[in-house]
Amino acid sequence: MIEVNPNAPLGVFDSGVGGLTVVRALMDVLPGESIIYLGDTARVPYGSKSPETIRKFAVEDTQFLLSKGVKAVVVACNTATAHAMPVLQSMFRLPIIGVLEPGVEATLADPHCQRVGIIGTAGTIKSCAYQHALAMKRPDLQIYAEATPLLVPLIEEDWIDHPATKMIVKEYLKPMLDRGMDTLVLGCTHYPLLKPLLVKILNNKVRLVDSAVVCAEHVKRLLTEQELLRTAKGKPKLELYLTDLSEQFETLAKRFLRADFGRVQRVSL
Ligand code: DGL
């Protein structure tokens, strides 16, 4: 690991603006930290791309954040985490935290969990990264994974309370519910927005693991242990960079972040 400055900002990247759910969670648990966010909106979605392409994009995203002098990189995108963590961790010598490991830890924190469902993009589910990580630690676990590609567009359309979304979510979850799923891992940046609907559909009978929240808690633990918490006086800053700018991205960003942000800057990678 290289020497890092605790007062440097945290870097966070995602394929688009969905990763702002992770920024939201980071701002809640680490209100003193400055954050630089990169959303690769010019190349979103990552969820349907090949593993090689996702890895290449993730390396470029990380290089951009490093050029901004960040002290650690949070891979907010589940698809990028699932495919690119080993390559990022071997290429770069600063702390790199993905959403998967904290999600797995939080899932297994309840020793009673027996039947775990995982939902995510096609890329995340096909990588089997969540399935392997869970099975390595708990070989006795029943694991059901389902790619749920229709959910990202529905959430981006703000169709969260729409009957069509309810029907589609029920259809996706049915096979897992029929098998007695007791825990559901929300393995995608966008899914925290569906939590109210999921709670209703699942009648509070299935534990939900929100990878954004548990990732933020993990980052807090790591920064504390490595004495990397910001100590500088003054208000922390949030800087947003997108590889493509549009009105739609700004509207979406506000919904995901649930807060105002300043000027968004466009960058080329
Ligand atoms: N950010 C992606 C994820 O969490 C979802 C959107 C995409 O496919 O790029 O997997």
pLDDT tens digits, 200-259: 999 889 999 998 999 999 999 999 999 999 999 999 999 999 999 988 888 899 889 988
Mutating to test ligand 1, I would choose from 146, 185, 189 the residue with most ligand atoms within 8 A of its C-beta, which is 189
What is the per-residue burial (b if ≥16 Cβ within 10 Å, else e) of 133-161?
bbeeebeebebbbbbbbebbebbbeeeee
In a 10 Å sphere around its CB, with 0-12 CB exposed, 13-18 middle and 19+ buried, how is residue 105 labelled? Answer: middle
Q: Please, which pLDDT band fits residue 1 given cuts at 50, 70 and 90?
A: low
Yes or no: say if 58 and 88 are a contact pair by the CB < 8 Å rule: yes
Mean pLDDT of 12-38: 96
pLDDT tens digits, 143-192: 999 999 999 999 999 999 999 999 999 999 999 999 999 999 999 999 99
What is the per-residue burial (b if ≥16 Cβ within 10 Å, else e) of 173-192?
beebbeeebebbbbbbbbbb
Active site (annotated) includes residue 77: yes
pLDDT tens digits, 66-78: 999 999 999 999 9
The SS3 call for residue 29 is helix
Question: Looking at ligand 1, which residue's alpha carbon is closest to its atom 8?
Answer: 47
The pLDDT score that the predictor gives to residue 115 is: 98
What is the per-residue burial (b if ≥16 Cβ within 10 Å, else e) of 67-104?
eeebbbbbbbbbbbbbbbbeebeeebebbbbbbbbbbb
Class of domain 101-211: alpha beta
Cβ < 6 A, ligand 1 pocket: 14-16, 18, 44-47, 77-79, 120-121, 124, 152, 188-190
Nearest partner of 26 among 93, 75, 68, 84, judged by Cα? 75
Pick the atom of ligand 1 nearest to 45's CA. 9
Distance from residue 232's CA to the centre of ligand 1 (Å): 33
Mean pLDDT of 89-116: 96
Nearest partner of 258 among 13, 25, 10, judged by Cα? 25
Mean pLDDT of 98-117: 96
The SS3 call for residue 147 is strand
- Identity of the residue numbered 135: A
Distance of CA 3 to the CA centre of its chain: 26
The pLDDT score that the predictor gives to residue 179 is: 96
pLDDT tens digits, 41-64: 999 999 999 999 999 999 999 999
CATH topology match: 10-98+213-266 vs 101-211: yes
Neighbours of 120 (CB within 10 A): 31
In a 10 Å sphere around its CB, with 0-12 CB exposed, 13-18 middle and 19+ buried, how is residue 214 labelled? Answer: buried
Two structure tokens written together for 210: 């929100």
Class of domain 10-98+213-266: alpha beta
- Domain residue spans of the chain: 10-98+213-266, 101-211
What is the Cα–Cα distance from 167 to 170, expressed in whole angstroms? 5
What torsion do the CA atoms of 28, 244, 79, 166 make, to the nearest 10 degrees? 70
